[in-house]
Structure 1
Amino acid sequence: MQMNDSQTIPASREAVWAALNNPDVLKQCIPGCQELEMTSPTEMTAKVVIKVGPVKATFGGKVTLSDLDPPNGYKITGEGSGGVAGFAKGGAAIQLEAVGDNETILHYQVDSQIGGKLAQLGGRLIDATAKKLAGEFFTKFGAVVSGAN
């Protein structure tokens, strides 16, 4: 599944960049995130609980940051296993566009894949859930970075 969108965040590009690289901020914003720990400057481990239709699964996995271009953007990729529920993997290309001194447009292109029991639920349900989770993340991220949270 692929998805492209953007969100305006009332904060400087440098502040948004710093938040995108802060595991504490990311943990607050990722829906269902129970653990997120930085293991190196470009790698994190994560534990996330996700519910897709009738299937609820805990995914453990690794997140990697690449193509770093501070403070303009990066690529974030992740891969996780949810046991009998299956697997999820994907990534997002993030680009930050400064608008004046205190506003940033965060552009993202997401590409994700799932397999196993989750993949049997049907494309529409999975796509709708993925869009909902991405929307929740970026809405919460914007609120946290702008100090509205």
Structure 2
Amino acid sequence: MAMTMNGAVTLPADRATVWEKLNDPEILKRSIPGCQELERTGENGFTATAKVAVGPVKATFKGNVTLSDIDPPNGYTISGEGQGGVAGFAKGGAKVRLEDAEGGGTVLNYDVEAQVGGKIAQLGGRLINGVAKKYADEFFANFAKALEPEGAAPAA
């Protein structure tokens, strides 16, 4: 089953900082919901392990992630695939583009295309798209937190 998702989020940091954090495995690991492991395997590659839940199906996915079309500090394409055992598989990619936001900060634009198969695909598109949106929102909330300066006072 194929799905697409796109959007934009404004982040509270300059483009160079956002770019640096988008390429930091530790920041990405903390930002990706359910991510248990993210290790660099080469200059533009990673292995990843993440626990996900889609409705009643819970699985641990293990797979590979590759960065391509790298254009610092403007964006890249991230692609990957993972196996979740009996739950199925997921593969896809996202084009990520950074641009300066009016009034400061950085706008991160993303276009995602993914395919899922196995038990997860049997759950239906509406549920899968809803869960994907939830995970994306959670990623960006976590990533925005990672961009805050160390020791910054929380917003009131």
Q: TM-score range by the shorter chain?
A: over 0.9
Kindly state the Cα deviation for residue 145 of structure 1 after the two structures are TM-superposed: 1.3
Amino acid at match of 1:118: I
1:22 aligns with 2:24: yes
Range moving further from structure 2, 100-109 or 125-134: 100-109
Query: Is contact 2:31-2:139 (8 Å) kept?
Result: yes
- The one-letter amino acid paired with 2:15 is R
1:38 to 23, 37, 40: 40
Partner of 1:110: 112
Measured at CA, do residues 26 and 76 of structure 1 come closer, stay the same or move farther in structure 2, by a change above 3 Å?
A: same
| Alignment CA distance shift 1:43-1:102 (3 Å) | same
Following TM superposition, the consecutive aligned residue runs of length 4 or more in structure 1 with deviations greater than 4 angstroms are none
Change (3 A) 1:127 1:100: closer
- CA shift, 1:101, in A, is 8.6
Question: What amino acid sits opposite 2:138 in the alignment?
Answer: E
Once residues 93 and 27 of structure 2 are traced to their aligned partners in structure 1, the CA distance between those partners, rounded to angstroms, is: 18
> What corresponds to 2:89 in structure 1?
87
The 5-angstrom pairing of residues 129-148 of structure 1 reads 129-147=131-149
- Alpha carbons 2:10, 2:108 under 8 Å: kept: yes
Listed as ranges, the gaps of 5+ residues in structure 2 are: none
Contact preservation (8 Å) 1:31, 1:136: yes
Question: 1:102: how far off?
Answer: 4.6
List runs of 5+ in structure 1 lacking aligned partners: none
Identity of aligned residues (%): 58
In structure 2, which of residues 13, 21, 29 is the aligned counterpart of residue 11 of structure 1? 13
Q: Secondary structure at the match of 1:11?
A: coil
1:98 to partner: Cα distance: 1.5
Q: CA deviation at 1:112?
A: 1.1
Residues 10 and 101, structure 2, Cα contact 8 Å, conserved in 1: no
Contact preservation (8 Å) 2:57, 2:87: yes
Specify whether residues 38 and 75 from structure 1 end up closer, same or farther in structure 2 by C-alpha distance, changes over 3 A only. Answer: same
Take 2:5 and 2:115, find their aligned partners in 1: how far apart are those partners? Answer: 12
Contact 1:12-1:101 within 8 A present in 2 as well = no
With structure 2 as the length reference, what TM-score do the two structures score? Answer: 0.91
Task: Rate the CA distance shift 1:116–1:100 in 2: closer, same or farther, 3 A.
Answer: same
TM-score (norm. length: structure 1): 0.96
- What is the CA–CA distance in structure 2 between the aligned matches of 1:69 and 1:26, rounded to whole Å? 18
- Whole-angstrom distance in 2 between the partners of 1:58 and 1:38: 19
- Paired residue secondary structure (2:120): helix
